[in-house]
Amino acid sequence: MADDNVDPPPLFENVNIHSHDRDDDLFVSARQDPVEETPTVTNGQNDLDVSSLNISESRAEMETVPIDNGPDPLEQAELESEDEYLDITIADTQKMGEGMGAYVAYLTRRFSDFLGLHDKLTEKYLKVGRIIPPAPEKSVIGMTKIKMGSSTEGNQNNGSDFVERRKASLERYLRRTAQHPVLIMDPDFREFLEYDVELPKATNTSALSSAGVMRLFNKVGETVNKITYKMDESDPWFEEKLAHIEALETQLRKLHTNVEAMVTYRKELANLTNGVSRSAAMLSSCEDHNSLSRALFQLADTEEKVESLHIDQANTDFYILCELLKDYLGLLGSVRDAFHERTKMFQHWQHSEQMLAKKREIKAKFELQGRTDKLDQANSEVTEWEAKVERGQESFEKISQMIKKEMERFEKCRIHDFKIMFIKYLENHLEHQAQLVKYWEAFLPEAKAIA
């Protein structure tokens, strides 16, 4: 009967990856070096000194977010911060060191600091049903280019394109986090923006560290748990919303793939246009007819300008369309994580009810046997599990309400972001096409002048 007093975890338990020291890193030589940043914060149109941000909120209240002891302590903070807006940009990059010890610095922030910030926010808020923006993904290939490329080289092999893409993704991550009315008030997030000092290095964010391997095993376990456990959904809203998320994710993934292909084709078109430009220039140099030679030279110059336009358009397609779609694929994954937390909460609640039924059976057995010496302990255990069932039900109801609230905010942000994206993309596309027409209109008189 001693085993009955043990409360076994109903779910696959998360591995504590934060307890590993750097000395335990089995793959320290293969670690991806992090990136640093210094964010510049603006409020609306006016620049703010980030050191003036007020982070005097109670850390205990912000870091401990109960879901079963009265109202949400962050509710008032959320209402007060709804109108607060931070426009965050990242300063210029700088490569530090050479070889495998090199890394890209943004003054006082490393890439691992961003991952560490995301882990902190996830630990505090995911369990209550908040949708946490995903952190930017690592790229071992991109960092290898940084490490192996010379800091004095001016070619594309030094990873400059990778650095710019990562810089843009880090900016989007900070801005998206700042858009959340609760996360913007979090002390860790505010300190991340405010303190102009180097943060302690994170030990659980390396690409191939022992902690990373354990985190991979943990994710596998979580996936197995998602597959093997199916809760009996009592709220049709969640079934409909989950089906909507799955359909949206499928279509966004297809669109993202096609946009990536379009970016590749535009770059190939730019390369081919460059070939036409060079061929026309070479032909003009050996052409004896003066007006034809001049027209060929102007054609080469026009094609060179068109090549630049194709490259600009490819970059526009990537940064405006492709990256936003990629971000939202990650955000949909965060939505799934919130839904899974609700499933885990439901399973814990059901486990408590099963244990309560078992304790009541034991109590009834003692009463029938006249075991008065065991009744006090049995009554105590029944009372304890009744409280657990009550807390479990209350927690499940609260996380369900929180997810609905988060999804409402998520949908509003999604519609707004896609509207801005479409408008910006079309404006840039029209500008490129208008410039393309001007280039060819300027060349037309040269073609007509051939005598």
394, two tokens? 């209350």
Question: What's the rounded Cα separation, in Å, for the pair 388 and 350?
Answer: 10
* DSSP structure class, residue 447: H
Residues 277, 309 share a domain? yes
Residues 156, 135 share a domain? yes
Please report whether residue 3 resides in a domain: yes
- Residue 274 is part of a domain; what is its CATH number? 1.20.1270.60
- Structure confidence by residue, pLDDT tens digits, 197-217: 777 666 555 443 444 444 555
Question: What's the rounded Cα separation, in Å, for the pair 449 and 113?
Answer: 62
The residue whose two tokens read 């926010």 is 121
**Helices 236-285 & 290-316 angle (0-180, nearest 10):** 160
Question: What's the rounded Cα separation, in Å, for the pair 448 and 451?
Answer: 8
Please report whether residue 49 resides in a domain: yes
Query: Among residues 436, 416, 33, which one has the least CA distance to residue 202?
Result: 33
Q: Quick one: pLDDT at residue 137?
A: 79
Residues 102, 148 share a domain? yes
Query: Over the range 279-291, which residues count as b (16 or more CB within 10 Å of their CB) and which as e?
Result: ebbeebeeeeeee
Residues 281, 193 share a domain? no
Please report whether residue 106 resides in a domain: yes
Q: How many domains does the chain have?
A: 2
Please report whether residue 377 resides in a domain: yes
Q: Quick one: pLDDT at residue 104?
A: 54
313 Cβ contact list (under 8 Å, min separation 6):
266, 428, 429, 432
Please report whether residue 244 resides in a domain: yes
398 Cβ contact list (under 8 Å, min separation 6):
67, 68, 72, 128, 129
Residues 400, 331 share a domain? yes
Please report whether residue 326 resides in a domain: yes
Please report whether residue 215 resides in a domain: no
Question: What's the rounded Cα separation, in Å, for the pair 134 and 189?
Answer: 14
Q: Quick one: pLDDT at residue 429?
A: 94
Query: What parts of the chain have a pLDDT lower than 50?
Result: 1-6, 8-71, 81, 100, 140-144, 146-148, 150-158, 206-214, 224, 226-229
Residue-level length of the chain: 451
Residues 343, 302 share a domain? yes
Residues 79, 194 share a domain? yes
Residues 249, 156 share a domain? no
Residues 413, 383 share a domain? yes
CA atoms within 13 A on the CB side of 75: 10
Q: Quick one: pLDDT at residue 87?
A: 62
For residue 121, how far is the Cα from the chain centroid? 12
Residues 6, 103 share a domain? no
CA dihedral 91, 96, 102, 105 (to 10 degrees): -20
Range of the domain at 44: 32-203
Residues 20, 43 share a domain? no
Residues 47, 93 share a domain? yes
- Secondary structure (3-state) at 337: helix
- Secondary structure (3-state) at 74: coil
Q: Quick one: pLDDT at residue 98?
A: 56
Q: Quick one: pLDDT at residue 386?
A: 96
Please report whether residue 196 resides in a domain: yes
CA angle 34, 174, 256 (to 5 degrees): 85
Strand ranges, E, within 36-112: 39-43, 46-47, 87-90, 94-96, 103-105
- Residue 132 is part of a domain; what is its CATH number? 3.30.1520.10
